[in-house]
Chains A and B, each alone.
Chain A
Amino acid sequence: MENKNMTARVEKNGGSTLTSPYRQESVTVPTADIYETPDAYVLSLDMPGATKEGISLKLDKGVLAVEASVGSIHAESATVLRREIRTTGYHRAFTLGEGIDRENVDAKFEEGVLTVKLFKSPAVKPKEIQIH
């Protein structure tokens, strides 16, 4: 059973794949940058080949999950002579701490990079106290 799966995968990907046989699913883990500002967290994920329409971004039970499919890179009639680019799609998930305003999340996809801005809820934002 296990062997059958592997064979099918090899054929589909033209004989070269990064897929580990120890993983059930074959996905690419996008590299991520995350920084924190006084009022938000900003994530950026490298997802070349993904499209805006093919990205799913979900915030559920304190986990932010990003999934994206990758369209075909070459014309159907073309013969691929060398394949290094993976087209298995992307998946990565992050646990979020407390204090994120779920209703206030911004996301954009440019140049193959997904940028997500998660604003902090007012309760955890640093606040300067005025002295009267």
Chain B
Amino acid sequence: MNVRFERYPVARNAFGDVFDFEREVNSLFENFLGTPWGRVAGSGYPRLDIAESGDETVIAMELPGVKKQDLKVLVQDGLLTVSGERTSPALPEKAKWIRNEVESGSFSRTIELPHPVKQQEISAELNDGILRIHLPKAEEIRPREIRVK
């Protein structure tokens, strides 16, 4: 497949998206043919990653524009729920929208904990729009080296 698109369209309107047309065409192909390896690994909103290392599992979640105080992390009955709200800043007086793609409002996502955790030692931090929740493994499931006597 060799399709080329004009990078900078001749007709320019204020705040037109340079790659809009290209994206539209690409999405037509994708919707029609499907991507070879499926869409997303799992689906849900907000998007998250789960990563495991020796003593803990880290859940990372994309939360741009969400403030710490508008976020709630709850661990209960083997489930982790992250919920909150993204408040959209009010449009200043005499302003008008040109594009409004960013969604605001409340969100919630629940996942099963991958293993028993030390509840008291769970910590979380929010940096550059990524929330990281550290879930320390419960003592009984931590990798343990057995010394041979």
Interface residues of A (CB under 8 A from B): 6, 10, 15-23, 29, 31-38, 41-44, 46-51, 61-63, 65, 73-75, 77-85, 92-97, 109, 111-113
Identity of the chain B residue whose Cβ is nearest the Cβ of A44 in the assembled complex: B102
Q: Which of A37, A48, A75, A79 contacts B129 (CB 8 A)?
A: A48
Q: Which of A18, A38, A78 contacts B39 (CB 8 A)?
A: A18
Residues of B in contact, count (CB < 8 Å):
62
Question: Which residues of A sit under 8 angstroms from B39, Cβ to Cβ?
Answer: 18
A15-B37, A34-B98 as given contacts; A48 in contact with B16, CB under 8 Å: no
Interface of B is mostly: loop
Q: Could you give 20 example pairs across A and B, Cβ below 8 Å?
A: A16-B37, A22-B3, A23-B26, A29-B23, A31-B103, A33-B102, A34-B98, A35-B92, A35-B100, A36-B98, A37-B94, A47-B129, A50-B129, A74-B60, A75-B51, A75-B53, A78-B51, A111-B66, A112-B128, A112-B129
Identity of the chain B residue whose Cβ is nearest the Cβ of A62 in the assembled complex: B12
| Docked-complex contact A93 and B19, CB < 8 angstroms | yes
A85-B60, A97-B12 as given contacts; A34 in contact with B49, CB under 8 Å: no
| Docked-complex contact B18 and A95, CB < 8 angstroms | yes
With both chains docked as a complex, state the minimum distance between the C-beta of A42 and any C-beta of chain B, in angstroms: 8
| Docked-complex contact A84 and B102, CB < 8 angstroms | no
Identity of the chain B residue whose Cβ is nearest the Cβ of A100 in the assembled complex: B14
Whether B50 is near chain A, meaning CB under 8 Å from some CB there, is yes
With both chains docked as a complex, state the minimum distance between the C-beta of B133 and any C-beta of chain A, in angstroms: 12
Whether B99 is near chain A, meaning CB under 8 Å from some CB there, is yes
| Docked-complex contact B42 and A49, CB < 8 angstroms | no
| Docked-complex contact A80 and B102, CB < 8 angstroms | no
Known: A73-B51, A83-B49, A111-B66. 16 other contacts (CB 8 A): A15-B41, A16-B40, A33-B100, A43-B15, A44-B102, A46-B64, A48-B64, A49-B62, A73-B130, A79-B53, A81-B52, A82-B48, A94-B18, A95-B8, A112-B128, A112-B129
